[in-house]
């Protein structure tokens, strides 16, 4: 294919993502108690994994710059999807965020993350230098997405969009004084928005209750919650019980006896730590660090602004999911129900992660062949 160099394919980036997925797959298979394997989480994840790898390779073969032109159309489609899921979607765990097609459930807010990255890159790549005015204008993309996702309500996903936007803004060529002004305003607005949101949701909402018990875990005050803090209690116990080498894959008491809630997705890191111990958890984190550094490399070597900004936006997406998921498993960050990229069970997020990987590979494969 003209303009494509497979010699530039970043195998370190690709292999780190696949091995991370295998970590998750191993514990899913080991903890599978289903009498019908074809209907199990593990089998579905295998299908999603093969599908994700295939999609990543196909996107890598294509020129990422072809997505620049229709980015605004993609964004309108994204808004329509988020509106549609509020009307026609199904509710899971108090969040109306899925389309249901028989046994298949699709979470559009996951795929919209990629479209959001593309539209931000399209908008900001028009200019070489940027000002606060450009940042303010970009809110036309951020605010509708945040509003629609919070309507579901899904605070974790909303925070992932906000993180992507912030990371890209920090990567722009803003003058230093304007950058400092932005940081002060953004911090103030974030604190005010959080208080307003919690006020609107009320003290009975699970978002409020999760924040209320967060200090107990952060300062190790208590691991004996009978309510909303129970999840993190069990995650911390599972991580500690793994010790250095783990209890063995599929042998951890917390996971086997279902004391560890949502062990296949939200708390899969605790599942892995219990099964594989400190060394297994450390290896998982090191793989993530490798993946993040290779992503930074893509953003650094990309020869056009669109490619740099796409890679930077994806960096924000992966960073948020890694830090927030592992942090909430350890009790050092509030629980938001955010999955661990490439590792957690869930077709929508796994496919989104691999779509992002495909875009990164497309950028790195063409960084020496930019033609205007």
DSSP 118-167: HHHHHHHTT-SS--HHHHHHTHHHHHHHHHHHHTTT-HHHHHHHHHHHHH
Dump pLDDT digits (tens) for 299-324.
Answer: 999 989 999 999 999 999 999 999 99
The angle, 0 to 180 degrees and rounded to 10, between the axes of the packed helices 108-124 and 305-330 is 140
Stated as kind and residue range, the H or E segment containing 92 is strand 90-92
User: DSSP characters for 212-235?
Assistant: HHHHHHHTT--S--SSTTHHHHHH
Dump pLDDT digits (tens) for 165-179.
Answer: 999 999 998 888 888
Dump pLDDT digits (tens) for 110-145.
Answer: 999 999 999 999 999 988 888 889 999 999 999 999
* Band of residue 221 on the pLDDT scale cut at 50, 70, 90: low
Nearest to 10 by CA among 321, 365, 266, 285: 365
pLDDT for res 303: 87
Which domain covers residue 162, as residue numbers?
A: 6-365
Report which of residues 240 and 314 the model is more confident about. Answer: 314
Residue 314 within a domain: yes
Report which of residues 175 and 17 the model is more confident about. Answer: 17
The mean pLDDT of 241-262, rounded to a whole number, is 81
pLDDT for res 219: 54
Mean pLDDT of the chain: 87
In sequence order, which residues have a C-beta less than 8 Å from that of residue 47 and are 6 or more positions away? Answer: none
Question: Tokens standing for 308?
Answer: 């740099």
pLDDT for res 371: 45
Counting the structural domains of the chain, the total is 1
Cα–Cα distances in Å, from 131 out to 118, 124, 137, 188, 310?
20, 11, 10, 19, 19
Question: Tokens standing for 328?
Answer: 């909430």
**Predicted TM-score (pTM) of this structure:** 0.90
d(CA 37, CA 40): 5
d(CA 55, CA 52): 5
Cis preceding-peptide flag for 153 (omega within 30 of 0): yes
Residue 372 within a domain: no
pLDDT for res 284: 97
Nearest to 64 by CA among 349, 303, 325, 340: 303
Nearest to 343 by CA among 49, 50, 112: 49
Residue 89 within a domain: yes
pLDDT at 1 over 50: no
Dump pLDDT digits (tens) for 331-364.
Answer: 888 888 899 999 999 999 999 999 999 999 999 9
Residue 1 within a domain: no
Nearest to 187 by CA among 173, 200, 169: 169
Residue 98 within a domain: yes
Nearest to 4 by CA among 65, 84, 50: 65
Token pair 């993190």 in the structure block, residue = 232
Dump pLDDT digits (tens) for 87-100.
Answer: 999 988 788 998 98
Residue 371 within a domain: no
pLDDT for res 34: 73
pLDDT for res 236: 85
Dump pLDDT digits (tens) for 28-77.
Answer: 988 877 767 766 788 999 999 999 999 999 999 999 999 999 999 999 99
Q: How many CB atoms lie within 10 A of CB 17?
A: 28
CA dihedral of 10, 11, 16, 20, whole degrees rounded to 10: 120
pLDDT at 289 over 80: yes
Residue 258 within a domain: yes
pLDDT at 19 over 60: yes
Dump pLDDT digits (tens) for 180-218.
Answer: 888 888 888 877 876 776 666 655 555 555 665 655 555
Residue 370 within a domain: no
In sequence order, which residues have a C-beta less than 8 Å from that of residue 321 and are 6 or more positions away? Answer: 160, 338, 339, 340, 341
């Amino acid at each position: 294919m003209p303009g494509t160099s497979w010699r530039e394919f970043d195998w370190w980036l690709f292999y780190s993502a696949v091995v991370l997925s295998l970590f998750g797959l191993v514990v899913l298979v080991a903890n599978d108690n289903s009498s019908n394997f074809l209907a199990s989480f593990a089998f579905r994840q295998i299908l999603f994994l093969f599908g994700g790898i295939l999609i990543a390779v196909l996107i890598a073969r294509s020129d990422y710059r072809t997505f620049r032109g229709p980015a605004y159309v993609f964004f309108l489609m994204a808004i329509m999807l988020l509106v549609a899921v509020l009307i026609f979607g199904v509710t899971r765990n108090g969040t109306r965020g899925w389309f249901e097609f028989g046994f298949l459930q699709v979470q559009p807010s996951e795929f919209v993350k990629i479209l959001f990255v593309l539209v931000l890159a399209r908008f900001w790549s028009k200019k070489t230098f940027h000002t606060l005015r450009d940042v303010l204008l970009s809110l036309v993309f951020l605010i509708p997405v945040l509003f629609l996702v919070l309507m579901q309500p899904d605070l974790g996903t909303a925070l992932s969009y906000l993180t992507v936007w912030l990371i890209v803004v920090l990567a722009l060529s803003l003058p230093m004084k304007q950058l400092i002004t932005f940081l002060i305003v953004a911090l103030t607005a974030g604190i005010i928005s959080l208080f307003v949101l919690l006020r609107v949701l009320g003290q009975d909402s699970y978002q409020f209750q999760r924040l209320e018990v967060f200090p107990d875990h952060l300062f190790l005050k208590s691991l004996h919650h009978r309510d909303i803090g129970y999840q993190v209690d069990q995650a911390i116990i599972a991580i500690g019980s793994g010790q250095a080498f783990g209890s063995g894959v599929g042998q951890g008491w917390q996971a086997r006896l279902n004391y560890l809630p949502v062990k296949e997705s939200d708390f899969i890191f605790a599942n892995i730590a219990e099964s594989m111990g400190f060394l297994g958890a450390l290896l998982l984190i090191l793989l993530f660090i490798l993946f993040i550094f290779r992503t930074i490399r893509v953003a650094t070597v990309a020869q056009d602004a669109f490619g740099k900004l796409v890679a930077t936006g994806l960096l924000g997406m992966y960073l948020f999911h890694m830090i927030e998921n592992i942090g909430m498993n350890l009790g050092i960050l509030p629980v938001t129900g955010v999955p661990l990229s490439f590792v957690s069970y869930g077709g929508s997020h796994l496919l989104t992660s691999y779509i992002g990987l495909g875009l990164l590979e497309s950028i790195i494969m063409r960084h020496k062949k930019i033609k205007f």
